[in-house]
Structure 1
Amino acid sequence: MATHWIFGNQLCHELPVVREADKDKDVFLMIEAQSRSTWQHYHKQKLVLIFSAMRHFASELEEKGFRVDYREADSFEDAWKAHVKAFEPEKVYYTVHTDYRMTQAMKKWEKSLSDIEVEVLDARPLFLLAAEEIKSELKGDGPWKMDPFYRRMRKRLNVLVDGDDPVGGKWSFDQENRKSAKGNTTFTKARSFRPDDVTKEVMEKVEKQFGDNPGELKPFRWPVTRKEALQALNQFIKERLETFGTYQDAMLEGDDFMSHSLLSSSINIGLLTPMEVVRKAEQAYLNGEVPLNSAEGFIRQIIGWREFIRGVYLKKMPQYRDVNKFNHQRDLPSFFWDAETDMNCMHESIRPVVEHGYNHHIQRLMVIGNYATLYGLSPQQTSDWFNEMYIDAQDWVVLPNVLGMALYADGGTLSTKPYVASGRYINKMSNYCGSCKYNVNHQTEEDACPFNALYWHFLDRNADKLSDNHRMGLIYKQWQKRDADKKKEILEKGARLLKE
């Protein structure tokens, strides 16, 4: 008899660990680990998503005629020992993990076994490439650029290509996808899913056992089954993808989702596979239902960025988690957990994280990540916060995105420059500044937007590290030309803000 062990981010019926199971001989093992140390201090809705999706997946396996040993235990170790005592497996199959800590934990577990054989199976179709394939795509030790990788993936997978050339004559339509959405712009609402009895039971458990974890428990809107995830995907493709491209970098007060897909949580736990999502978006373009800039921009996030950052993670861990180019050490302020701040852009970016465990990529990068960099917040505390607070967070997703892209803490392994900006960028891409306590047009006055002085303070204090960056030369020239007294005033304002 063999055990097929399925984890909470591997809920895919197409995985080899599921497809190769024998209904007559084998048993599936699934473990809901209860201990607080196992689950860190995760957002309540993230716990609900994982536990509910696992329970639904177990029921689906049972409906197909499989035996499932579903255990709620304090730890994986306790549940495993109880499983062995009950079933006496001769062999265990499980899907290879991307998460470094889980990989190391499973290796340690393997060494503890005496008479049980272990076979580790491929993680595709959770990803487009096997682990060794993606690592071989990224030559050397970096730095690496996503664009060449993305082009190779388009050709390799035959997505939006005509022979060796890109459909539409360009590989990327990113320049067309930076329009702001001020005024009367409206977007079709994303589909949400009412909790069923299983999810309601999980919500009661989470409230009881993890009641002091961050985030709000209700309303819970996320897909917890493949059926629901497919409904969310189909609605996005049919009703919302059309406006995704043009406005993907825009931010609107009170509209937390706009045209963003909200599919990342489903993809990252296996309810949807990345390739089926890509093919649906591609077909919508081929059918004339959505413009090319929307289809390409969405597809780039999946076969380009998602796969690329996984490769960076696999190549660079475990050292990558400790990167800190600017030696930033400040603690995160308390409003990261309750959104109570007078900076409206930060309030509007963190509020949906508290309420839903989600905000979109520009809020993550150009508001929260920008703030963390300018204020000198600890990269490790910041990445821990992203890991714990986001419904779609996985360690392999968070570390490259946060440490590399958002904070430039890796010094340029995957990004060519820090993504920092003054309040002008936020004002350009959102309507946040109009109702903010601070004046985005002021730099040193009492009511000046904090991003303004801190932007120049950051550049000035890190000139030795950044001034020779070819993408930042013009900015530094502008700074050098400014009046000496004005520069002094700005730097003093920035220094005061950092002391508050």
Structure 2
Amino acid sequence: MAVRPHWLFGDQLGPHFVDHRHHGPDARAPLIMIESWAVLRRRRFHRAKAHLVLSAMRHRAAELGDRVRYVRARTYREGLAEAAGRDPVTVCQPTSHAALGLVESLEQVQVLPARGFLTPRDAFAAWAGDTRGRTRMEDFYRWVRREHELLMDGDQPAGGRWNLDRENREPPPRGARTLGAPDPWRPQEDEIDDGVRHDLDRWEREGKVSFVGRDGPRRFPATRREALASLRHFIAHRLPWFGPYEDAMLAADPVLGHSLLSAPLNLGLLHPAECVDRAERAWRAGDAPLNSVEGFVRQIAGWREYVWGLYWWFGPQYRGLNALGHTTPPPRWFLDLDADAVTARCLRHVLAQVRDTGWTHHIPRLMVLGSRALQDGWDPAAVTDWFHRCFVDGYDWVMLPNVVGMSQYADGGLMTTKPYTSAGAYIDRMSDLCGPCAYRPGDRTGERACPYTVGYWSFLHRHRDRLSGNHRMTRAVRGLDRLADLPELLAAARARGDAPP
């Protein structure tokens, strides 16, 4: 029987095929790749993200040579018809509800299990089904550690504790402009990158697509070889710096000790198992401290797998949740990445980093960008779409739980136990961004009142009835009663537009 062609999506680019005897594609299968410019037209993507994805696809096609049929078409349907006609093909489960719905609607396509994750969907569903609705990340993380024997000494966690988060919340060293970690690995562009950039320029001129943000030079791996080089460099040179300062922010050092591996992981160029395995081996060899290794393992084997599982467990209806009733459209300066229109230094700095690179680490995403959206009552669906299109590592499965659940609390607590937002004091403690700012983190009223401090108390006031019943928010809500200037604060918030009318 003839071997069926296998269709590779743009986030399934790694060579780690599952053997066909274990329900993966046949190792001999000819391959199909489809470059659809209509995908780029649906959203106003970050230019650097569009460049990275297309560069990675074209690099993979060049590596595969005659084995792949690479089609450029308007849509996936048209591309598949050109590449395979009506012949049967296989595809690994796509990573979004929409793409899965597409391939399932095509009679010629057989959908195989997803790849690129430690936890299959059915295994996550079995775990979640046993939680009686309490699908908390910490419980899942411990389960994954046991299942995959990650950082385990027998049946106990290495070092005696599951979670070393307390050692990984250090503010940046006082007075330091940079953390002092070795520079991250960066790729060298080639003629394929030049070709992608030429095509993006042409498509923009022709009015086919429109982008936000700036592009170039490419900052993230686009090939398996580059991804492995980036992983090796991080483990050998930067992993020890990661743990203690993973929540810190420095204006002159936006990367700090972070790995920058989320983009190649989400393109399928790395597998999470090889990342956590190399980190654990570094610790056991005495080359990295346990708190840094545990923090790295928790991000990849814990949080990343957890978000992947929740995306499918909660289902498509999760997208429409809006427990707090937030409906304000994000402002134009946010949608356009117009950092120059922003006065608050922390927000201006982070927005400029997104504009220039398509990336920030998790704390600026959550406690600067996400917190601003939550405090101001922006529509969570619009915020989710913004994160999806503006980050190089942003995909639907990544951003839907991270934004709807973690960042915007739009699911009312299905994913997290409280809203994640803060006054300016947190940003001041964890960064060097507040000192030169036009605002003061401790001021609630007056010309120098910090928008995050004003926004925090305004948010608590607006949702007081709901949040007063949350045991993790009770103390914060009671703090409203101690604010003699609360009426003035709320009036200023309404006048500035930081709270819905």
1:334 counterpart residue number: 332
1:194 counterpart residue number: 188
- 1:196 maps to a residue whose letter is D
* 1:78 equivalent in alignment to 2:78: yes
Q: Distance in 2 between matches of 1:235 and 1:281?
A: 12
Q: Deviations over 1:234-293 (max 9, x none)?
A: 111111110100000000012221111000000011100000000011111111111111
1:113 counterpart residue number: none
Q: How many residues align?
A: 483
2:312 counterpart residue number: 314
Q: Deviations over 1:335-386 (max 9, x none)?
A: 3222221111111111111111100000000111111000111101100000
8 Å CA contact retained: 1:35, 1:75: yes
The match for 1:49 among 39, 49, 52 is: 52
Q: By how many angstroms is 1:499 displaced?
A: 6.3
Q: Distance in 2 between matches of 1:278 and 1:83?
A: 37
Q: Which structure 1 residue ranges, 4+ long, deviate > 4 Å from structure 2?
A: 17-20, 36-39
Q: Distance in 2 between matches of 1:479 and 1:22?
A: 63
Q: By how many angstroms is 1:491 displaced?
A: 2.0
Q: Deviations over 1:173-211 (max 9, x none)?
A: 101111111412422211111211111111111122146
8 Å CA contact retained: 1:17, 1:95: no
Q: By how many angstroms is 1:495 displaced?
A: 2.2
2:164 counterpart residue number: 173
Distance 1:482 1:45, change over 3 A: closer
- SS in structure 2 at match of 1:434: coil
- SS in structure 1 at match of 2:238: helix
Q: By how many angstroms is 1:400 displaced?
A: 0.5
Q: Distance in 1 between matches of 2:31 and 2:314?
A: 33
Q: Deviations over 1:111-151 (max 9, x none)?
A: xxxxx4x4322223x00021111122112673421001101
1:157 counterpart residue number: 148
* 1:183 equivalent in alignment to 2:184: no
Q: Provide the alpha-carbon RMSD of the alignment.
A: 1.8
1:40 counterpart residue number: 43
Distance 1:428 1:75, change over 3 A: same
- SS in structure 2 at match of 1:172: coil
Q: Which runs of 5+ in 1 are unaligned?
A: 111-115
Which residues of 2 match residues 64-143 of structure 1 at below 5 A? 67-85=67-85, 89=87, 91-110=88-107, 116=108, 118-124=109-115, 126-139=116-129, 142-143=133-134
8 Å CA contact retained: 1:450, 1:497: no
- 2:193 maps to a residue whose letter is T
Q: By how many angstroms is 1:301 displaced?
A: 0.6
- SS in structure 2 at match of 1:431: coil
Q: Which runs of 5+ in 2 are unaligned?
A: none
1:297 counterpart residue number: 295
- State the identity %: 38
8 Å CA contact retained: 1:457, 1:495: no
Q: Distance in 2 between matches of 1:284 and 1:22?
A: 32
Q: Distance in 1 between matches of 2:288 and 2:47?
A: 36
8 Å CA contact retained: 1:225, 1:271: yes
Q: By how many angstroms is 1:37 displaced?
A: 6.0
Q: Deviations over 1:32-55 (max 9, x none)?
A: 101256552211111111111111
Q: Distance in 2 between matches of 1:257 and 1:424?
A: 22
Deviating more after overlay: 177-186 vs 265-274: 177-186
Q: By how many angstroms is 1:487 displaced?
A: 2.1
Q: By how many angstroms is 1:334 displaced?
A: 2.5
Q: Deviations over 1:43-75 (max 9, x none)?
A: 11111111111111122222xxx5211011111
- SS in structure 1 at match of 2:497: helix
8 Å CA contact retained: 1:17, 1:94: no
Q: Distance in 2 between matches of 1:3 and 1:201?
A: 27
